[in-house]
Chain A
Amino acid sequence: MDNMKFGRFIRESRQAKGMTQKQLAEKIHVSDKAVSKWENGVGFPDIKILEPLAKSLGVNLLELMQSERNEEPEIDRQEAEQIVAQTISQSGQEDEWRRRMWKVKVLLGACVCGVLYLICVGVGYLAGHKDGQFSGLLSGAAGGAWYESPVLFYVWAGALVIICGAGAVYLLWKNESIREVKIGRHKVKSLLTILMDMLVVFLLHTYLSNIANNEKQLAMLPEAIPVNAYVSTADGSRQSGIFIKDSLVQGLLDSAYVDRLKMDVRLKAGIDRVIPGEWHTLNLFLDGVNGIEAVGGIKESDVVWNTGTDASILQGSEAKCIVSKELFDRKGWKLGDQVTLCQWYYYRKDERYAELFADPLQTVEYEIAGYVDMRGRWNDQFAVPPDVIVPFHAVRNTYAEEGIPFFASSAAFQVSDALSLNAFKQEMKDLGFRSVVQTELDQSVNGVALNVNDAAFISTAEHLRQVIDTVRAFFPFLLILIVGVGYLITLLLLQSRKKEMALLRSIGLNRYQCFRVFFVDQLTLVITGVVAGSVLSVLIQGNYGGSSALAGGLVGICYMAGNSLALWKLLDVSVMEALFVEG
């Protein structure tokens, strides 16, 4: 059955009845556009409409199916079957076409939504609106997860690029309208488009790599320039042999910003028994530390350890100790011996002054876990080296058991997340630490101030952040520039093909169909250029966290946007003028 013949028959029958297309459409409850399509042979009505259509046109169903008036309606069974089979097949083909178009539309819709999402998230990320309204808008959809893990973002972006690619391939493959505007025969123009895309992808990749590189440097900065902090007196004059309250000690132990915390507590001690008044019996200096690094200048390898023990004993609270070699030799002890130490603690009667007193704390039996020769190694010039080193928490526990307020003698640490210095400082302020005021005269030995050596870190981080922000600020303009490049290059390269466009229009393709023909061609070239550009960028510059995929995707989208604008403009010409005046 011939669509053209069918269309002509409907038109003639309609005109014979004196109806307009609109009147016929109203009668059979379809749009007048549909009637126009059938009459022009572009479409075929649904099989359910055939009967009311025949009635409205004043013909019988058979005449409509045969698309001709039949004076002798008698036909044999075989002929009737053939006509019906043809009609059903025709209607089925139309249905299939509609279904296919529906699929294409859904696919394109999904691609457009996905690409918009990608642009929003990508632009938000690159523009650096981490805490702005923009990210608030996205947080619901993207969640914090993608920002925490850029991998997730790139997996998402990769999936999207694949979907878009599949969509483009599907369009290319299923493009049932003409495929005759052959890009292969426009070799120079096609090659120029591909090369231009490659160049733009390469440049954008360089730009994105620069941002990624600086961000990487910023992330590595805490390791390159560690921020150290220590507790001191209010005027900053003393940092050891001070009194740091237990609440501050606990706060430091609990804080997530505190890393490699070194603390000690100093006591006096005597072996076996201390006789008040005979102070030579209280002649040992005992240091409770939470790690071997807290003992100035001593390394784990300097200690001669008893079998099966190591520096980890200092992190626990077991009654084990390390003694100085001099004491070890003098007393003739052996590793693993038990020694009884009478511990006395320092206190002040008035916290405003540095005057110290000592009182008994507890007598504890320690096992000798090792000995160390302090001579030549001790580097704390303000205090004498300890005779006995014990675990910090073991000493702290004895204070708690005796109900005596605990004070640590020194505390120093490294800030774990130096990029969140402000949050760290706020937490320390909430804990009760003050900033050092050097002009304030402090006669006490209260450990209340926190010294943070962050000047070098802050200046370097500020510099890097400024560089990143400045480079990022160009991002929206860069995207607009790519759209502009896509527009201009397409306009220039396709200028000489205006006549082809006019010819396609003259044959009967409408502006949209013409656009689609050239769009699919251009899309093929752009995808080729983008993929080649991405590969080239990775080969030459290396890949910075998927920035080549992002560069490729963004260039593809922006370039095609400019390209489409140019195509639409090129198609907006008078066919007459293009063929007769310019041609």
Chain B
Amino acid sequence: MEILRAEHVSYSYQSKYQKVEAVKDVSCVFEKGKFYAIVGESGSGKSTFLSLLAGLDQPCEGTIYVEGEPLCDMDRDAYRLNRAAVVYQAFHLFPLLTAQENVMLPLECKKMRKKEAARQARQLLERVGLESRICRQFPKMMSGGEQQRVAIARAVAAGGEIILADEPTGSV
């Protein structure tokens, strides 16, 4: 069963002085319950395409469908909160939050009680192979691999059906 579909999706970054075409006319289908890998040279727009699938922005052209519904007609904030989570290549952890607080964040956004969120966050961090001492560390104090594991735990914590991971094992 189809969960995500991209049809002729294009995207470009535009500043005052220049325009960079990152994604050009991409069409593909992703089915429920399967793993997909997108391969390409660096700078070919993999991360941008992934972010479009995560609903971080709208494609300049083309449409992305989520279970047959156009993403542009949906509440993209709710979609990100409840259905799609992203593991970024650059981790993008909150620099002034501890590992545990980073993982708790999506849970608290869903109005989960703090205690329960902390318990689940600890469990998840354990599942990705991080010791409990890491829980109280800030990203600056962690190695690249540890940071990436925290980012993975955070994506899993969100509990969405779709996990979009940008080179998730690059540093592990």
Contact with A along B68-81 (1 / 0, CB 8 A): 10000011011111
Q: Which residue of A lies closest to B86 (CB)?
A: A506
List residues of A (1-50) whose CB comes within 8 Å of B's CBs: 4, 7-8, 11, 15, 36-37, 40-42
Tell me whether B97 and A182 are in contact (CB under 8 A): yes
A176 to chain B: which residues have CB within 8 Å?
A: 111
Tell me whether A505 and B82 are in contact (CB under 8 A): no
Tell me whether B94 and A508 are in contact (CB under 8 A): no
| Cβ-neighbour of A180 out of B81, B82, B94, B111 (below 8 A) | B94
Tell me whether B75 and A583 are in contact (CB under 8 A): no
Tell me whether A576 and B48 are in contact (CB under 8 A): yes
Tell me whether B78 and A180 are in contact (CB under 8 A): no
| Cβ-neighbour of B77 out of A97, A186, A509, A574 (below 8 A) | A509
A4 to chain B: which residues have CB within 8 Å?
A: 82, 159
Tell me whether B81 and A40 are in contact (CB under 8 A): yes
A7 nearest CB across to chain B (Å): 7
Also in contact, A180 and B54, with CB within 8 A (given A42-B78, A583-B92): no
A579 to chain B: which residues have CB within 8 Å?
A: 51, 56, 88, 90, 92
Q: A interface, how many residues as a size bin?
A: 35 or more
Tell me whether B105 and A507 are in contact (CB under 8 A): yes
A508 to chain B: which residues have CB within 8 Å?
A: 77-82, 106, 109, 158
Tell me whether B101 and A180 are in contact (CB under 8 A): yes
Chain B interface SS verdict (over half) = loop
B90 to chain A: which residues have CB within 8 Å?
A: 579, 583
Q: How far is the CA of A179 from the CA of B74 in the complex (A)?
A: 27
Q: How far is the CA of A575 from the CA of B52 in the complex (A)?
A: 11
Also in contact, A177 and B56, with CB within 8 A (given A185-B96, A507-B80): no
Q: How far is the CA of A503 from the CA of B83 in the complex (A)?
A: 16
Q: How far is the CA of A499 from the CA of B92 in the complex (A)?
A: 9
Q: Which residue of B lies closest to A577 (CB)?
A: B13
Q: B interface, how many residues as a size bin?
A: 35 or more
B14 nearest CB across to chain A (Å): 9
Also in contact, A580 and B82, with CB within 8 A (given A36-B75, A180-B97): no
B163 nearest CB across to chain A (Å): 14
List residues of A (174-199) whose CB comes within 8 Å of B's CBs: 176-182, 185-186
Whether B156 sits at the interface, judged by CB under 8 Å, is no
Q: How far is the CA of A583 from the CA of B94 in the complex (A)?
A: 13
Q: Which residue of B13, B51, B96, B158 has the most chain A CB atoms within 10 A of its CB atom? A: B96
Tell me whether B51 and A580 are in contact (CB under 8 A): yes
A37 nearest CB across to chain B (Å): 8
B111 to chain A: which residues have CB within 8 Å?
A: 97, 176-177
Whether B47 sits at the interface, judged by CB under 8 Å, is yes
A90 nearest CB across to chain B (Å): 13
A530 nearest CB across to chain B (Å): 25
Whether A217 sits at the interface, judged by CB under 8 Å, is no
B86 to chain A: which residues have CB within 8 Å?
A: 506
Q: How far is the CA of A11 from the CA of B161 in the complex (A)?
A: 13
Tell me whether A507 and B67 are in contact (CB under 8 A): no
Whether B4 sits at the interface, judged by CB under 8 Å, is no
Tell me whether A15 and B68 are in contact (CB under 8 A): yes
Contact with B along A542-583 (1 / 0, CB 8 A): 000000000000000000000000000000001111011101
Whether B57 sits at the interface, judged by CB under 8 Å, is yes
Q: How far is the CA of A181 from the CA of B96 in the complex (A)?
A: 8
Whether A255 sits at the interface, judged by CB under 8 Å, is no
Whether B124 sits at the interface, judged by CB under 8 Å, is no
B76 nearest CB across to chain A (Å): 9
B106 to chain A: which residues have CB within 8 Å?
A: 507-508
Q: Footprint of A on B, CB under 8 Å?
A: 13, 47-48, 51, 54, 56-57, 67-68, 74-75, 77-83, 86, 88, 90, 92, 94-97, 101, 104-106, 108-111, 158-159, 161
Q: Which 4 A/B pairs are nearest by Cβ-Cβ distance? A: A508-B81, A508-B80, A40-B78, A510-B77
Given contacts A40-B81, A97-B111, 13 further A-B contacts (CB under 8 A): A36-B74, A40-B79, A40-B83, A499-B92, A503-B94, A506-B92, A507-B81, A507-B109, A507-B158, A508-B80, A513-B109, A576-B57, A580-B48
Q: Can you name 19 A-B pairs with beta carbons within 8 Å? A: A40-B75, A40-B78, A177-B111, A180-B94, A180-B97, A182-B96, A499-B92, A507-B105, A508-B78, A508-B158, A509-B77, A509-B109, A510-B75, A576-B51, A577-B13, A579-B88, A579-B92, A580-B51, A583-B92
